[in-house]
Amino acid sequence: MFLKITAAEFGASKSAFIALLLMLLGALFWLDAPRAQSAPTDPTTSTSVTDYLDAIDRVEAAHSAYATELSDLYMGLGRALINEANYPEAQRALHRGMQVERVNYGLESISQTPYLLLLADLDAATGDDQASQDALENLYQISAKHYGAKDPRMLTTLDQMLDWQLRHYREKPPRKGFSHIAAAERVAVRMAKILNASVALSDPQAPPYYAKLAAIQYLIADHIDRHGAAPTANFEISTGPEVLSQTRSSTSFNYYRRGKSALLYRVDALMQQNQDDPLVQAGAIAELADWYLVFGQTHAATEAYRLAFETLADDSVAEEVRANFFAEPKKIDFTLDTAIDPLDAGPSALQVGLWITATGRPKDIQVIDPPETLSGKYLGRLRNNLRKTRYRPRMIEGIPEAVAYRVSYPRPASPPAQQEPT
């Protein structure tokens, strides 16, 4: 369409012309706005820093410096700058995105969560542990003010914090990962307070969270047993005096006690929620017995296994199902790691024969038909790793007994001498 305006008309109606011109310019800005939002924010894309900066300029010109559309763009810009290892500018971009969220949704807006998690990653990448923990603590405080410290919805925030701590713990050598162990304990304390105050045993989310609490206690106890407690934490955090001051044996007992308490609550919850399912009930009691066993409480473990077996004496449970429940040993695993089990090694794995005792300990470990290229060093480490594993023993009529067993283990790649079991 062609717009024709004569000089006379312009002179007679200058203000109307200006108003029309502003309307046309406004329409052009609105048409351009979608282009501003077209810069992808998916971190897997190859969008450049320049693309994000151009998109931000277009949105600011079309709307304002605090337009809601800027939030995702600043997040994308921050990721792009991190990919270029430009950490100071990435930090500025992320803080700017958080400012946009606060202006639009309030100082305590929960929408700041992804920024704080990414800022924590950024601080960790630059070696500033204290700043990364401060970002996560800020995330917790914002969520607590938004929901309430004991609101069950806080469990989602604590899950995010725990996942962050575990991811960075696994990326570091054990002795340098203690700060994340200490932070995981703080998460566990906060989870426990919410569960005790606001989550009934009849709530479906109670059993998995009590299991998670036990797994955190096992992680901490296992770390301290293997590597000791750090004399001082890498950052200031309230974790309780026992982590830093007591002996390994007393510390291990504290975490055994806390994990046992969590698993007892889990048993109660599953009993309430599955009153007509003895298989679920027996499984929960057997996991409590597993906990006793890995902490050396053999008598308590045997009694709990027997109780689990007796729970299966129900008309709804077929005799074959009852007989098979404890027919073979089962690896005991309370870890929070969701990675593939190193013993789940696929069809090309080494086959390892061993003897599982009545107390669940592996003995007489032998590789079946080992390849000639398998190094002695690899075999030694394989045996040591398997000896540290504990198994739920085979049981006959509620009585544990020793049995021959076979497991798969990853076959080392070439050259064998350089491969070590993990």
DSSP assignment of 397-413:
TTEEE-EEEEEEEPPPP
Select from 128, 139, 217, 222 the least CA-distant residue to 168: 128
Q: What is the CA radius of gyration of the chain?
A: 30
H/E segment holding residue 29: helix 14-36
> For the residues 149-176, what does the mean pLDDT come to?
93
Fill in the DSSP letter of residue 177: G
Are 185 and 240 contacting, i.e. CB atoms less than 8 angstroms apart? yes
Per-domain residue ranges of the chain: 16-102, 350-418
pLDDT of residue 376: 86
Q: Provide the strand spans (E) within 37-160.
A: none
pLDDT of residue 194: 97
Q: Is the pLDDT of residue 37 over 80?
A: no
Select from 305, 283, 278 the least CA-distant residue to 360: 305
What is residue 395's three-state secondary structure? strand
Q: Is the pLDDT of residue 239 over 70?
A: no
pLDDT of residue 325: 94
Please list the residues that pair with 351 across neighbouring strands. Answer: 368, 408
* CA separation for the pair 39, 193 (Å, rounded): 43
pLDDT of residue 347: 56
Higher pLDDT, 10 or 263: 263
Are 70 and 56 contacting, i.e. CB atoms less than 8 angstroms apart? yes
**% residues pLDDT > 90 (the chain):** 60
Say how many C-beta atoms besides its own lie within 10 A of residue 302's C-beta: 20
Give 411's pLDDT tier (boundaries 50, 70, 90): confident
Higher pLDDT, 43 or 80: 80
Q: What is this structure's pTM?
A: 0.78
Higher pLDDT, 337 or 104: 104
* CA separation for the pair 87, 73 (Å, rounded): 17
Are 108 and 146 contacting, i.e. CB atoms less than 8 angstroms apart? yes
List Cβ neighbours of 118 (8 Å cut-off, separation of 6 or more). 75, 78, 79, 82, 94
* Predicted confidence (pLDDT) per residue in 352-381, tens digit: 999 999 999 999 999 998 888 888 888 888
* CA separation for the pair 113, 90 (Å, rounded): 16
For residue 300, what are its two tokens? 């308590």
Give 337's pLDDT tier (boundaries 50, 70, 90): low
Tell me the average pLDDT of the chain: 82
Tabulate helix, strand, coil % of the chain (nearest 5). Answer: 60, 5, 30
* CA separation for the pair 361, 145 (Å, rounded): 48
pLDDT of residue 176: 83
* Exposed/middle/buried for residue 416 (C-beta within 10 Å: 0-12, 13-18, 19+): middle
pLDDT of residue 308: 95
For residue 388, what are its two tokens? 């540290």
